[in-house]
Amino acid sequence: MEILTWTYILVGISFALYIGIAIWTRAGSTHEFYIAGGGVSPLANGMATAADWMSAASFISMAGIISFSGYDGSVYLMGWTGGYVLLALLLAPYLRKFGKFTVPDFVGDRYYSNTAKVVAVICALFISFTYVAGQMRGVGIVFSRYLEVPIEWGVVFGMCIVFFYAVLGGMKGITYTQVAQYCVLIFAYMVPAIFISMQLTGNPIPQLGLGGTLADGSPLLAKLDGVLTELGFAAYTSGRKSITDMFMITLALMVGTAGLPHVIVRFFTVPRVKDARLSAGYALVFIAILYTTAPAIAAFGIYNTIESTSEKKISELPAWISTWEKTNLIAVDDKNGDGKVQYVGDPARNELSIDRDVMVLASPEIAQLPNWVVGLVAAGGMAAALSTAAGLLLVISTSVSRDLFKTFHPDISEKKELRIARIAAGCAVVLAGYFGVNPPGFVAEVVAFAFGLAAASFFPVIIMGIFSSRINKEGAISGMITGLIFTVGYIVYFKFISPESNNVDHWLFGISPEGIGSIGMILNFVACITVSKFTPAPPQAVQDMVQEIRIPRGAGKAQDH
Amino acid sequence: MSSQNPKMKAYWRKNLQTLFILLIIWFVVSFGCGILFVDQLNAFHLGEFKLGFWFAQQGSIFVFVILIFVYVVRMNRLDREFDVDEE
């Protein structure tokens, strides 16, 4: 069968599955809509968290980024997994014991202040919208590349699917759909990786294949270092970024991960505190399967690309090159007219440009796998984008209906609250879709924003709220505002006001905008502690609450107090 | 249940000790082995991997997973020991 037919069949089956699950698990109460009734098993929650967390960027782009940056790509690998250790040890169990529905809920109660809550809601909305626009775009791109429909139609179709199960099913529908989406995406990611690993190194486990030897007996990584240096690139296993910058970016990504509202909220859905701890562990196992495979795909991909193109006749290039040339992801330009491809580090002489997304998207073709595998990768990319989009939309709708509307109209009925949550989710889908079709030029730029903001705003106040009973509302508000203003100011300056000076000579302490959230976080901590010291301690009831959340017993189901 | 009593203080202190030890390991394998001392470790090899590179792209992630499960087991035991576990 043709590739296109297979893609339609596999994507169609996966969509039918998601819709079926959504109908089967639709939410009947706000309790089910916000946190799936609080009865999700740790294993299912771990899988759902993994799918929620791994976005189109993790699935489609990350391996390619590592292909072209080698060792420097490690910031994403460590940053996006190490955050789960912080989450499991410092946040998840205590927030579960606290037992409400959202991060702004916690900030508002712990700091006995609606102002603090509103600041938290604004952060949550900003982070989630930034992210969700990127996911919708991802859905559109997968559609347009594999199903040969215009991006706009792809986005609209993706919107309809997400609308259907997020608006109908709420957190309950999303959770069980995400479990299915995790299975689809991990299968789609591993099949090509395993085959390529066997072909190149004879070892079916990609994690071992990365450290394996090629058919000619030379080690893959050493050979790759040699080939790349010869062509004028930096060696694969050595760093190009400064140690300070590597350190700060990794820290900002880790802390940012632990502060992302759509990830934190997943730990409210399990029955007990010990389940929250355990499900963070399961989540990281499921994430680690993909994250330890990605560097292998990265190295295999760049090695295969160089082997099959460098100094080869243009007329004899493999078929996948011309397939992906049609989508403009690969471009060959015979600058010196010798009829061969020169792939070299010097941009003036380089004749081959490759988009990073090709490393995953074209992996089945590079490995000459059967056509159904191509369709599987398309379904996997779609699953990654849809699951993340749904999780974010839920945070947006909860923020609007519960954190904004209910805070100021505490006496609305549950039925009305549920309706507002659904309307908010619907509006958010439409808005996200609009940005997916008309992406603002700065979507890529604002990714640094989302993590920087989460790191500089939420993380310190939540940690301090749990581990200190002395921190008060004045401290928390000034901490969040200090962290936010500094981080936003730094990123806006280098990304929008003065992009031409965005280089290491002008950066503060040599820290790039991607890593500045770490400094924002430190400033937040400092402001928080200093201001609290000079202002009155929190009321006794709040101090008692802090003591209470430190003890697992008596968690019960998350509920309205 | 009041958490100000000595027993609860002891529980919380043991909890903090556990966190402290696990977070030191977390820091050493990622920021230490993967970034700060990567060049020194790259002089050694693990199979065909340079050791520092392996920590940055594989090893640190495996250790993260182990850390969380050690934490889960240790905390469950602590909860039972201090009689604050859930039914």
Task: Select the residue of B1, B48, B60 nearest A82 (Cβ to Cβ).
Answer: B60
**What distance in Å separates the CA atoms of residue A390 and residue A383, rounded to the nearest whole number?**
11
Q: Which of residues 51-90 of A touch B (CB under 8 A)?
A: 66, 71, 73-74, 77-78, 81-82, 84-86, 88-90
Which residues are CB-contacts of A126 (< 8 A; sequence separation ≥ 6)? A449, A450, A453
Domain residue ranges in chain B: 6-81
Question: How many CB pairs (< 8 A) connect A and B?
Answer: 142
Task: Locate A498 and state its tokens.
Answer: 């003065």
Complex prediction ipTM? 0.93
For residue A191, give the amino acid letter.
V
d(CA A314, CA A51) in angstroms, rounded, equals 40
Backbone angles phi, psi at B14, to 5 degrees: -65, -40
Q: pLDDT, tens digit, for every residue of A251-308?
A: 999 999 888 888 888 888 888 888 888 999 999 999 999 999 999 999 998 888 888 8
β-strand partners of A331: A353
Do the bridges between strand A352-354 and strand B49-50 make them parallel or antiparallel, or are there none, so unpaired? unpaired
B57 and A77: CB-CB below 8 Å? Answer: yes
pLDDT tens digit string along A56-66?
888 888 888 88
Q: Does A285 touch chain B (CB under 8 A)?
A: yes
Domains and CATH numbers, chain A: 3-549 (1.20.1730.10)
DSSP state of A213: B
CA A452, CA A512: separation in Å to the nearest integer?
A: 11
CB A237 within 8 A of CB A299: no
Q: What is the DSSP letter of A558?
A: -
pTM of the model: 0.89
Q: How far apart are CA A47 and CA A29, in angstroms?
A: 24
DSSP A180-200: HHHHHHHHHHHHHHHHHHHHH
Tell me if A182 sits within 8 A of A52, measured CB to CB.
no
**Torsion angle in degrees (nearest 10) through CA of A450, A455, A458, A463:** 160
Please tell me the distance in Å from B9's CA to the nearest CA on chain A: 10
User: CA-CA distance, A338 to A476, in Å (whole number)?
Assistant: 65
Task: Please report residues of B whose CB lies closer than 8 A to that of A220.
Answer: 48
**What's the CA gap between A238 and A235, in Å, rounded?**
6
Does residue B87 have a pLDDT over 70?
A: no
Mutate one of A277, A302, A542 to test the B interface: name it (highest B CB count within 10 A): A277
- The 10s digit of each residue's pLDDT in A142-182 is 777 777 777 778 788 878 888 877 777 778 888 888 898 89
Residue A114 identity (one-letter amino acid): N
Token pair belonging to A64: 């390619």
Average pLDDT across chain A, whole number: 83
From residue A324, give the alpha-carbon distance in Å to each of A251, A283, A362, A372: 36, 34, 8, 18
Question: What is the rounded CA–CA span in Å between residue A35 and residue A309?
Answer: 51
Q: What is the mean pLDDT of residues B38-55?
A: 84
Chain A nearest C-alpha distance from B60 (Å): 7
Q: Is B82's pLDDT higher than 80? A: yes
End-to-end CA distance of chain B: 16
| A504/chain B closest Cα distance in angstroms | 18
**Cβ contact A277–B2 (<8 Å):** no
Q: Are B30 and A82 in contact (CB under 8 A)?
A: yes
In whole angstroms, give the CA distance from residue A344 to residue A351: 8
Q: How many residues does chain B have?
A: 87
Q: How sure is the predictor about B22, in pLDDT bands with cuts at 50, 70 and 90?
A: very high
Q: What is the mean pLDDT of residues A222-232?
A: 83
Q: Do B36 and A295 count as a contact with CB atoms less than 8 A apart? A: no
Is residue B12 classed exposed, middle or buried when 0-12, 13-18 and 19+ CB atoms within 10 A define those classes?
middle
> Is A280 in contact with B68 (Cβ distance < 8 A)?
yes
* Burial readout A184-213 (b: 16 or more C-beta within 10 A, e: otherwise): bbbebbbbbbbbbbebbbebebbbbbbbbb
C-beta atoms of B65 and A288 within 8 A = yes
Could you tell me which residues are beta bridge partners of residue B45? B50
- H or E segment at A440? none
Sign, CA dihedral A560-B2-B4-B8, equals negative
Nearest to A250 among B2, B35, B53 (CB): B35
Amino acid identity at A7: T
The structure tokens 């993909």 sit at A290
Query: Taking the CB of residue B1, how many other CB atoms lie within 10 A of it?
Result: 12
Tokens of A107: 């900030």
Q: Quick one: CA dihedral A76, A81, A84, A85, positive or negative?
A: negative
What number is the average pLDDT over the span A451-456? 86
A247/B36 Cβ within 8 A: yes
Name every chain A residue with its beta carbon within 8 A of the beta carbon of B4: 547
Indicate the range of A342-351, A523-532, B29-38 predicted with least confidence. Answer: A342-351
In Å, what is the CA distance from A248 to each residue of A225, A254, A418, A457, A479?
A: 26, 10, 41, 16, 20
